[in-house]
Amino acid sequence: MLDFGLLGTLCVRHGDVELTVPRGKQRGVLTKLVTSAGTPVEADELIELFWPGHQYEKALEALYTTMSRVRKLLKRVGAESVLLTTDDGYIIKREAIQTDVKMFLEKVAFARVAEVRGELNAARQCLSEALSLRRPGELLNGVDCPVLVEAEAPPLKRMLTSARERWCGLGLQLGESWDVLPFLNDLAQEDPLNESAHEKLMRALLPTRGQAAALGVYYAIRDRLAEELGIDPGPSLQALYLNIIGATKDDSVLAR
């Protein structure tokens, strides 16, 4: 089984051996094939992605050269068979590889099941294991294809952010406000318009730094939403705000 790491700089492992995939076209083409595993990728699509505007024959020759180098790279660990040539392109055999993205999603699914069962500690542990798969480096770092990076990196980032936020939410339910506070601060700074993250940050601030700090977070996101999107905070965030200022006596709002 060949392992591909996409949650950071591309990493390829076969057993205990790690392959260094050169930056640029090799890393980019291999990333495209891995993210499309099980689905043929036409040569013309690869040319359009990695050699746009080039004369077709020269681009095709460059593609053949790149694929030859990728095959040699895989051959070093006896894994060249995972890459097949089709009638008009190439395909990575899905059943012959494992990706950290697939492992991540599996652990997130396990966390969801545990949470439904009320096993909050187990759910949080599953999310911790999922998040530990994130490696150093920007997502798809060194992939010489802005179009591919723009298509693939944002969904991966949203996936990671969602898991981080869920991990923090479980921490709040377990009474670990101090522990999750710095992580929620990071999430709020990374996405200043993320109401859910700001709401969790407010809930973490209430028992740790008090109402004033929590209200400061509310006022800041309220003003940003008005200035940038022309909208008010959503019902959940407003309900928490009203409870804090004493406009409602529904303690369950604070306990969530």
Among 3.40.50.2300, 1.20.210.10, 1.25.40.10, 1.20.1250.20, name the CATH number for the domain at 177-256: 1.25.40.10
Q: What is the pLDDT of residue 249?
A: 53
| Domain assignments of the chain as residue spans, ordered by start | 2-98, 177-256
Flag whether pLDDT at 156 surpasses 60: yes
Where residue 11 falls among pLDDT bands split at 50, 70, 90?
A: confident
3-state DSSP of the chain: CEEEECCCCCEEEECCEEECCCCEHHHHHHHHHHHCCCCCEEHHHHHHHHCCCCCHHHHHHHHHHHHHHHHHHHHCCCCHHHEEECCCEEEECHHHEEEHHHHHHHHHHHHHHHHHCCCHHHHHHHHHHHHCCCCCCCCCCCECCHHHHHHHHHHHHHHHHHHHHHHHHHHHHCCCHHHHHHHHHHHHHHCCCCHHHHHHHHHHHCCCCCHHHHHHHHHHHHHHHHHHHCCCCCHHHHHHHHHHCCCCCCHHHHHC
The whole-model pTM stands at: 0.88
Q: What is the pLDDT of residue 165?
A: 98
Q: What is the pLDDT of residues 86-133, one digit of tens each?
A: 999 999 999 999 999 999 999 999 999 999 999 999 999 999 999 999
- Of 76, 94, 85, 120, the C-alpha closest to 39 is 94
Q: What is the pLDDT of residues 221-241, one digit of tens each?
A: 999 999 999 999 999 999 999
Flag whether pLDDT at 66 surpasses 70: yes
CATH 1.10.10.10 fits 2-98, yes or no: yes
Average pLDDT over the chain, rounded to an integer: 93
